[in-house]
Structure 1
Amino acid sequence: MKLKGLLLAACGLAFALSARSATFANGADVSWVSQQESSGYSFYNSSGVKTDPFVLLKNLQINAIRLRVWVNPSGGWNDGADVLYKAKRAAAQGQRILIDFHYSDSWADPGQQTKPTAWASHTLTQLNTDVYNHTYGILNYLKTNGITVEWVQVGNEINSGMLWPEGKTTSFSNLAGLINNGYSAVKAVYPNASVILHLANGYDNAVFRWFFEGVKEAGAKWDVIGMSHYPPATDWANYNSKISTNMWDMVSRYSKPVMVTEVGMDWTQAATSKAMLTDLLTKTKALGSNGLGVFYWEPQAYPGWQGYTMGATDASGKFTVALDPF
């Protein structure tokens, strides 16, 4: 009877994990939140009561949190300790976790993929080791502190590659090697985590085809295709149509699921953003099990925080209607 009970418990756990992974990710990247709070910012519910932002997001049906990682950042924001602090808060609310490696000391995107200062003089061989060790080190640190990570981005908006100049898309072979070292490190710590390759401009099917053909031919490994999506308020329906077409094409071509890992619109256009997000969620869910989720980028950013205006928080610290579709 004891053995039967253990087997039933194991089956129940496996079913629960399977159901969890099959659940659509209503997500938010809140990487700025600890820095905001340290600067004196607070967040409030609709009644004006100060509330933990992770609780506010959970109440808005946000079930997944994305957190970026920088290597040796100024001030410590987005380093391992800061990421763990936020990951614990997300886990306490039962929110799933996506870790986004930039492989830089600061922002990495199509216009800048600057090597960390500590890696600046390293050869390609050394950079491959750096990627593995950094990825493994951060993830193992999270795991040993009780954090389960479901998805990991190896690079952020890597349309033009990463760790320039060695990892530029002028050499897909170099880039694939760096990607695969990140991939191997992820699987060494979290064998069941999904590795995401993430590009900007999810509406641009031509760029996605060019990039993924390039890394595929070079032997890169990945599990999920990630996309950023910041449509203009005046033409969002057209851009949503384009990203939908691209998502379907990526699934068809590469037999990999897709995820919108960043979305946003100017906070003053909250009603328009709500309509856009409603439509985007519908289009992503139409992919069935191949549409994994949508993450709003820094919705808790106050208007103008760090010069950013596409959050979903008003000047009083309350979330706008932009997040209602979740």
Structure 2
Amino acid sequence: MKRKKDMLLTLMAAALLMGGCAEEPNPDYTPAEPAAPVEIDRTAFARGADISWVTQLESEGNTFATADGVTMECTALMKTLGMNAIRLRVWVDPEGGWCSEGDVLVKARRAQALGMRLMIDFHYSDTWADPGKQVIPAAWLDLDAEGLKQAVADHTKEVLSLLKANGVEVEWVQVGNETTNGMLRHLSLNADGTAGEESTVGGGLRSNPANYAAYTTAGYDAVKEIYPDAKVIVHVDRGHTVSYARNVFNALEAYGGKYDIIGLSLYPGADWESLTQSCVGNIMTLYNEFGHDVMICEVGMPWDDAATAREMLTYLITNSRATGHCLGVFYWEPEAPAGYNGGYTLGAFDNGRPTEALDAFKE
């Protein structure tokens, strides 16, 4: 019930932001009728961005504009920059409701209405999941391994069913976020934000690879039940170092884990040329070893060197596409102000306007 209430509040907040007025809260509110189908070219190379922060940024008074200063909603702005796809993360029961299923619905409907393709990124946590921390949602802490499998399936189906009921087409689904070291591993976070004790029934890649594969498969099967044609991504970080991905996909093969696409992150920084070349080379290495196409699910560069960022992105998009086995490239949170959320500096906007870095998506 709490989650449903959060969803309604988020939807009404979005109405305020998008329409300028709102009715009084209505406890009997139901979502609008599904949006009309939009013709989308699903064979094209995906050029996209994860803009999951957008509704939170709007609530804090941030606005977005073209390079010429024309104010525009962020999703629509991404489309004018040459992007055809949007990626959105999902948390189970997040503080404040951001990236909850209701918040995701608001953002997904915007993308759908614009004819943009959609990737949903399940973290299976109440907060950030990454290689260093994969914290089990608070409501799942007392579950055994079978219970966690069921919780993954139920949560996945719940979120995707909500999107489908609202006419949203989902093309790709990440089962876990940067699961380089496994998923659903930790019982809590320490005071300094690092991962706490590891669960005995967790899905650590080294401590319990069988559970990791089982949780991944539970998510995979749930996705296919709601969106049979959606492609399921298993996502790892450090795309320039092939051993990290190799460890994950060897384990999934050994224990029967299911997936369709290999997802990589790439944050190359100053040494971008050699690291980006390595990442592009790894696309073919991984395809040849595992027989699955690759998606660059996250990429980012320092916001204050836009010319270099554009050069890197142009190289990555051009050369990854040329392999014939990369399906697309997604920039991670380009709209974020420099230093947002405690220090993120890899966005591609300056004062609410896109920098030249994002011109690479038009080329």
Report the TM range for the smaller structure's normalisation. Answer: over 0.9
**Which among 307, 332, 335 is matched to residue 297 of structure 1?**
332
Give the aligned residue type for 2:274.
Answer: N
Cα offset for 1:53? 1.1
Residue matched to 1:202: 239
Structure 1 stretch displaced more, 188-197 or 117-126: 117-126
Verify: 1:88 aligned to 2:116, yes or no.
Answer: no
TM-score when normalising by structure 2: 0.83
**Which among 165, 170, 189 is matched to residue 144 of structure 1?**
165
Query: 2:132 and 2:106 mapped to 1: Cα distance?
Result: 29
Residue matched to 2:190: none
Cα offset for 1:122? 1.1
Cα offset for 1:265? 0.7
Query: 1:197 and 1:293 mapped to 2: Cα distance?
Result: 15
Cα offset for 1:105? 0.2
Residue matched to 2:68: 47
Query: 1:72 and 1:55 mapped to 2: Cα distance?
Result: 28
Secondary structure in 2 matching 1:185: helix
Residue matched to 1:273: 309
Residue matched to 2:195: none
Cα offset for 1:86? 0.2
Residue matched to 1:225: 262
Give the aligned residue type for 1:302.
Answer: P
Residue matched to 2:184: 163
Checking the alignment, whether the CA contact within 8 Å between 2:49 and 2:334 is kept in structure 1 is: yes
Structure 1, gaps ≥5 residues long: 1-15
TM-score when normalising by structure 1: 0.92
Cα offset for 1:295? 0.1
Structure with greater helix percent = 1
Give the aligned residue type for 2:245.
Answer: F
Query: 1:285 and 1:142 mapped to 2: Cα distance?
Result: 29
Structure 1 residues 168-196: Cα deviation after superposition (integer angstroms, max 9, x where no partner): 11221111110000000000000000000
Residue matched to 1:241: 277
Cα offset for 1:242? 0.8
Residue matched to 2:220: 183
Cα offset for 1:269? 1.4
Query: 2:75 and 2:166 mapped to 1: Cα distance?
Result: 19
Structure 1 residues 200-234: Cα deviation after superposition (integer angstroms, max 9, x where no partner): 0001111211221111111001000000000022x
Give the aligned residue type for 1:296.
Answer: Y
**Which among 29, 33, 36 is matched to residue 57 of structure 2?**
36
Secondary structure in 2 matching 1:292: strand
Q: Counterparts in 2 of 1:99-138, with a 5 A limit?
A: 99-138=120-159
Verify: 1:323 aligned to 2:344, yes or no.
Answer: no
Secondary structure in 1 matching 2:247: helix
Give the aligned residue type for 1:200.
Answer: D
Checking the alignment, whether the CA contact within 8 Å between 2:67 and 2:355 is kept in structure 1 is: no
Q: Provide the alpha-carbon RMSD of the alignment.
A: 0.9
**Which among 336, 345, 353 is matched to residue 309 of structure 1?**
345
Query: 2:273 and 2:68 mapped to 1: Cα distance?
Result: 33
**Which among 291, 300, 309 is matched to residue 264 of structure 1?**
300
Residue matched to 1:214: 251
Cα offset for 1:47? 2.1
Secondary structure in 2 matching 1:325: helix
Give the aligned residue type for 2:337.
Answer: Y
Residue matched to 1:6: none
Secondary structure in 2 matching 1:22: coil
Query: 2:236 and 2:326 mapped to 1: Cα distance?
Result: 16
Query: 1:189 and 1:211 mapped to 2: Cα distance?
Result: 26
Query: 1:250 and 1:45 mapped to 2: Cα distance?
Result: 38
Query: 2:352 and 2:246 mapped to 1: Cα distance?
Result: 40
Checking the alignment, whether the CA contact within 8 Å between 2:50 and 2:333 is kept in structure 1 is: yes
Give the aligned residue type for 1:324.
Answer: D
Give the aligned residue type for 1:268.
Answer: D
Structure 1 residues 23-72: Cα deviation after superposition (integer angstroms, max 9, x where no partner): 10001000000000000000011221211111211011110000000000
Query: 1:115 and 1:211 mapped to 2: Cα distance?
Result: 19
Q: Counterparts in 2 of 1:49-88, with a 5 A limit?
A: 49-88=70-109
Structure 2, gaps ≥5 residues long: 1-38, 186-198
